[in-house]
Chains A and B, each alone.
Chain A
């Protein structure tokens, strides 16, 4: 049984290891506690609200290595962007078609910019 996920407001002052952050929550407030966190669930109430992409990247950039879950209105078109921003777990409201996800993730061989994943931008491949 995994630890219960607490809300961002409940997290402060608790010793929870799993937290849920909403689009308006400041992910940077979690940075002092990254050592004990094993799961960060970033919610996407509407797919159009892209604040969670920044939240995820900020935490990965700060060295967070636990699970980063995208939850909510998560659609296949967003999965490649989310993966690049450091998400490695998905809890979509409507289940995704595995084959579609695989196709979306494999669509482009190269990327133009570094992000929170391991992919190397095409300029770096060219120039080292």
Chain B
């Protein structure tokens, strides 16, 4: 761990997929490429005084679990004709002006990808706005000159930058890759699973995800007990998780942006033991990606910038939907809460988003619907006038019940919203 570039108008730490190196659907392990970016951007002489902070995300799957297109630069590793390359999306972001990064280049050969990044940054460093802090992110530049023009300028800069020898040889990537070598998987690990314990089976279906190695799984620990504080764990629970990581996941444990924990490499034959230990520690919440798996920022309870509390709203909503059967019937529903316009709780990207605002000294909550931080990325839209603390919980419930009444088979909340639009939900909530 290090604290380089965790502040300032520089390139911040690179983010990636919480299942990197384990996900069954990745074209390559994104971590070595992310590390290469980290090295290139660390103490970068030209890009340490950018117009504004700069965040890059790199993923390697079609399924986006990292809100890639809501970053200043989102990169997806892709394969074309058997060759690895990078698709570049530039100019996304949340905050007070949420924007989805447009595709700037669909395939940058991987041996050019640092040069291409350098070109992207140079255009931004030269032409990004510096007159107004709220208009200084790259999303504003790309929006103002247009994605096509930005891409053209990057292309021109790239033609020059590529001659400077910025891209290291493949040998360097191989050296880095060795640090991310897969753990010593057992080649003959069994794929069989005894699902006879129904509670265990429910947890497996909800929280355990496919691993690229046969006989292994990705375990997601949802730190979202009904009525608890999203993302909180006691010291005793942290000890349990650390022990489980050591014993069953090759000593590896990851913290996710969704305020959950991942044990990336668990043998299927160990799943029951892991679940039992989690269950004993009240950590076997089988609600990953369900409505009670809420992302909530610290809000007014802890944050000096807040307009409203986030945590108690999350607690009340989760409690309202405590019935596990009902939650599962509702299915995937990403609910995200921010206590102010800075959007640390990613409310723009919530299927249901809640934004706390200050209305003449009183906490008020705006409801947005239809956002997504995944591959079907979109920015949620405000449904109508805001609510007080109890009103927002009722409004969420009404919207969810509306969805249950009008959904077509197989539709998630988000799909139904996209099909029917805001009107039926408006009627249900305000009618």
Q: How large is the interface on B (under 10, 10 to 19, 20 to 34, 35 or more residues)?
A: 20 to 34
Stretch with Cβ within 8 A of A (4 or more), from B99-107, B165-173, B360-368, B423-431: B165-173
Which A19-53 residues have a C-beta within 8 angstroms of B? 23, 47-51, 53
**Chain A-chain B contacts (Cβ-Cβ < 8 Å), number:** 75
Neighbouring B residues of A112 by C-beta, 8 Å: 39-40, 42-44
Task: Determine the residue in chain B with the shortest Cβ distance to A85.
Answer: B45
The reply to whether A53 and B43 form a contact with Cβ atoms under 8 Å apart is no
Distance in Å from the Cβ of A103 to the closest Cβ of chain B?
15
Provide the B120-139 mask, 1 if CB < 8 A to any CB of A, else 0.
00100110001000000000
- Residues of A close to B168: CB separation below 8 A: 121, 123-124, 127
Q: Which of B45, B160, B164 contacts A81 (CB 8 A)?
A: B45
Known: A48-B9, A112-B39. A123 touches B49 (CB 8 A): no
Residue from A51, A61, A81, A127 within 8 A of B48 (CB atoms): A81
A115 nearest CB across to chain B (Å): 5
> How many A residues face the partner with a CB closer than 8 A?
29
Are A115 and B46 also in contact (CB < 8 A) when A50-B125, A61-B160 are? yes
A67 at interface, CB cutoff 8 A: no
A47–B172 alpha-carbon span in the complex (Å): 34
Question: Which residues of chain B in 121-163 are interfacial with respect to chain A, using CB atoms and an 8 Å cutoff?
Answer: 122, 125-126, 130, 160
Q: Mark B208-233, 1 if CB is under 8 A from A, else 0.
A: 00000000000000000000000000
A61 lies within 8 A of B49 (CB): no
Asked if residues A50 and B47 are in contact (CB atoms below 8 Å), the reply is yes
A78 / chain B contacts, CB cutoff of 8 Å: 49
Task: Kindly state whether residue B340 has any CB partner on chain A within 8 Å.
Answer: no
The answer to whether A114 has its CB under 8 Å from any CB of chain B is yes
Task: Supply 9 A–B pairs (Cβ within 8 Å), ascending by A.
Answer: A49-B130, A50-B47, A50-B49, A80-B45, A85-B45, A108-B43, A112-B40, A114-B166, A126-B175
Which positions in B face A, CB cutoff 8 Å? 9, 39-40, 42-50, 114, 122, 125-126, 130, 160, 164-166, 168-169, 171-172, 175
